[in-house]
Amino acid sequence: MSGQLHFEPHPGLPGVAVLTLSHPGKLNAISVAMWQRLREVFDGLAEREPQLRAVLLRGAEGQFAAGADISEFPGFRFEAAGLHDYHEQVIAPALQALLDCDVPLVAQIEGACVGGGLEIAACCDLRIAGAGSRFGAPIARLGFPMAPSELAVVLQAAGAATARELLLEARLLDAATALQRGLVHRVVPDGEVALEAQRTAERIAALAPQAARLNKQTLRRLQRGEPLSEAERLEHFRYAASPDHREGVQAFLEGRPPVFRGA
């Protein structure tokens, strides 16, 4: 069995979907088929599902993901062209689909968040971790470096100092250290991770989805150091007459909670 991704609506939260990484017996190690499915799910997700307000990403059976599926490596790792295609045509597009997704992404991190699991978590907007979770990319023990596109993702989330430590020492960080370094946003007791991640998604879903998507688009541009043209700045403010904008301001003036309908 090569592992699976399950993508489905959250049973109790309208507007929230759940993606579950599942590879029984392998700590949800990510196979090629799982990487490909990840890209399929997130490519164009915001456009396909305009009512979607948040996605919760988690691993099955109390583990996030313990990297790539090493049992597949002998089939492609020892020849440059195949290795290039694996990292640049399989993993990189999957991570880019996550990064490009305008829907807010919340990582529910339990247990191992290592290698490819760390890369997936790093693409999420908010990372909620259990106290017993651990983070790293100890691939130097396997004799290879991190691919450039993947390192860019980890570098953005972890910072240069922590990325060097993870890669050059093959060190695993505990949750408290990951929080101190800014790699995760909150750490809660292991038994409360699912609930806190769900509450995070619920808070996001209660807010204006249009605002969340516009904020993600602008954040991406600014993080890449790409200034907006005057035409793009003008386009940004076209939300002025939108129902969500009117509802938010009117609800404040009337002293009531807003009810955002989205697209």
Round to whole Å and give the CA distance between 256 and 263: 21
Round to whole Å and give the CA distance between 59 and 11: 17
Q: Taking CA 152 as the corner, what is the angle to CA 29 and CA 228, rounded to the nearest 5 degrees?
A: 130
Residue 261 domain-assigned?
Answer: no
Check whether 1 has a pLDDT greater than 70: no
159: amino acid identity, one letter: G
Residue 135 domain-assigned?
Answer: yes
Check whether 133 has a pLDDT greater than 70: yes
The whole-number pLDDT of residue 134 equals: 98
pLDDT (average), residues 65-84: 94
pLDDT (average), residues 81-91: 96
- Tell whether 197 and 82 lie within a shared domain: yes
Q: How far is CA 200 from CA 19, 219, 248, in A?
A: 15, 20, 20
Check whether 227 has a pLDDT greater than 80: yes
- CB-CB contact of 55 with 105 (8 Å): yes
Query: pLDDT by residue (tens digit) across 18-36?
Result: 999 999 999 999 999 999 9
Please provide the distance, in angstroms rounded to a whole number, between the alpha carbons at the two ends of the chain: 39
Query: Beta strands of the chain (E only): which ranges?
Result: 4-9, 16-22, 54-59, 65-66, 105-109, 112-114, 126-130, 134-136, 173-174, 186-188
**The model's pTM:** 0.95
- CB-CB contact of 166 with 154 (8 Å): yes
Q: In 3-state terms, what secondary structure has residue 69?
A: coil
- Tell whether 8 and 135 lie within a shared domain: yes
Round to whole Å and give the CA distance between 186 and 164: 23
pLDDT (average), residues 92-104: 98
* Alpha helix positions (H), 107-238: 116-122, 148-158, 160-168, 175-181, 193-205, 209-223, 230-236
Q: How confident is the model at residue 263 (pLDDT cuts 50, 70, 90)?
A: low
Cβ-in-10-Å burial (0-12, 13-18, 19+) of 69 comes to buried
Q: Taking CA 80 as the corner, what is the angle to CA 42 and CA 75, rounded to the nearest 5 degrees?
A: 70
- Tell whether 28 and 154 lie within a shared domain: yes
Tell me what the pLDDT averaged over the chain comes to. Answer: 95
- Tell whether 52 and 8 lie within a shared domain: yes
Say how many C-beta atoms besides its own lie within 10 A of residue 31's C-beta. Answer: 20
The whole-number pLDDT of residue 18 equals: 98
Round to whole Å and give the CA distance between 88 and 108: 26
Q: In 3-state terms, what secondary structure has residue 72?
A: helix
- Tell whether 36 and 139 lie within a shared domain: yes
Kindly tell me the number of DSSP H helices and DSSP E strands found in the chain: 12, 10
The whole-number pLDDT of residue 232 equals: 87
- Tell whether 116 and 230 lie within a shared domain: no
Query: pLDDT by residue (tens digit) across 147-196?
Result: 999 999 999 999 999 999 999 999 999 999 999 999 999 999 999 999 99
Residue 94 domain-assigned?
Answer: yes
CA-based nearest residue to 163, from 171, 30, 80, 222: 171
Residue 259 domain-assigned?
Answer: no
- Tell whether 185 and 77 lie within a shared domain: yes
CATH of the domain at 199: 3.90.226.10
Q: In sequence order, which residues have a C-beta less than 8 Å from that of residue 248 and are 6 or more positions away?
A: 208, 258, 260
- Tell whether 28 and 130 lie within a shared domain: yes
- Tell whether 38 and 159 lie within a shared domain: yes
Domain count, the chain: 2
The whole-number pLDDT of residue 59 equals: 98
- Tell whether 195 and 229 lie within a shared domain: no
- Tell whether 83 and 196 lie within a shared domain: yes
pLDDT (average), residues 69-79: 93
Using the CB atoms, write b or e for 162-194: b if 16+ within 10 Å: bbebbbeeebbbebebbbebebbbebbebeebb
The whole-number pLDDT of residue 163 equals: 97
Residue 144: which domain range? 4-205
- Tell whether 235 and 133 lie within a shared domain: no
